[in-house]
A = this chain, B = another copy of it.
Amino acid sequence: MKRFMNDPKTVVTDYLEGLSAAHPHLVKFDREARILVRARRPERPKVALIAGGGSGCEPLHTGFVGPGMLDAVCPGAIFTSPVPRQIIAATRAVDCGAGLIHIVKNFTGEVMNFGMAQEIMAFDDITVETVLINDDVSIKDDDDSAGRRGLGATVLVEKIAGAAAEAGADLATVAGIARRVAARSRTFGVGLTSCTPPERGQPIYRMADNEMDLGIGISGSPGRDRVPLSSACDIAAILLDEVLSDRPPAPASPLLVLLSGLGGTPDAELYLLYGEIDRALRARGLKPARCLVGNFVTSLEQMGASLTLLELDDELLSLWDAPVHTAAMRWGMCP
């Protein structure tokens, strides 16, 4: 394992110190509470958005704190859910009376810990809505599993609901928009390598040079199927088949295409794969109206990518285009 680090035990706090040093006007790291909050309180009360999850998936979520997106984030240890204490601290830190939304990815620990935090805060005078993200189509959503994991849709919910909150929408409206984005998003991922959690020091598993993992998530666990590595063109078709067969969008709808690298795949390769996806979508009569290509939901230095499709409507499109200023997503605002 080769990394820029001082001590495997402190990588999370150390990188959060660096992130807040790099963006002091955007975020503040509260080392004691182990939460990241906006550096500036909003000028008027607004619905506050909070997310959290295992670290190692950056920029999710810590790169998305700032105007137009999240208000606070609770980063867990590497690939480990945040604890209730963090969630409570974040909730109390950013509450300004207009209500809060907990954006929760459907992982057992994350769901449980956000739930526990809410129980503990039951007598606080804070109204919290929970929005569950479960866009991963690689898992059958039946009684035998913990259900579909929350993957790329998380970024889209955070951006679009964040824009609605910033514009002054009330809690029910923002929660409704967030749920609409989650319901209309689907994700499927492909992994080319494993990754190495710092404290473990060894790759979580091994893959042969001619293999790839289909249906990969973000926990560093292997995918659903291990199959022979194929061409970018074939991989694009596989990703699209999985996502589109689960929820076919209306032919005329504008689509938002998120192609996120898993951390170790260079941007040029992601663009190459995006080119194949774009071509295949058009060949199927579909219309990629917006796209986002780069590292957004990752697993440390894992190579691979995940495809998220969101069927937009006029309101969602306009909220997507609204200004945002965070460490990892930024448009429409001056420095």
Contacts and interface: CB of A to CB of B under 8 A. Distances in A.
Interface of A: 1-7, 11, 14-19, 21-22, 55-56, 58-59, 63, 192-193, 209, 212, 229, 231-233, 235, 263-276, 278-279, 290-291, 293, 295, 298, 300-301, 303, 305, 321, 323, 328, 330-335
A330 B330 contact: yes
Of all A-B residue pairs in the complex, the 8 with the closest CB atoms, nearest first, are: A18-B275, A18-B271, A15-B272, A2-B192, A58-B268, A332-B334, A21-B278, A4-B273
17 contacts: A1-B209, A2-B193, A2-B303, A5-B232, A6-B232, A14-B232, A15-B271, A17-B272, A18-B270, A18-B273, A19-B268, A21-B278, A21-B279, A58-B268, A266-B301, A301-B303, A330-B331
A58 B330 contact: no
Which residue, of A3, A212, A233, A293, has the highest number of chain B Cβ atoms within 10 A? A3
A335 B2 CA distance: 38
**Which applies to chain A's interface (DSSP): helix, strand, loop or mixed?**
mixed
A333 B21 CA distance: 25
Contacts of A56: 268
A326 to B, nearest CB: 11
Contact of A270 (B4, B275, B305, B333): B4
B192 A269 contact: no
A226 to B, nearest CB: 13
Contacts of A7: 231
A216 to B, nearest CB: 13
B334 A58 contact: no
A271 B19 contact: yes
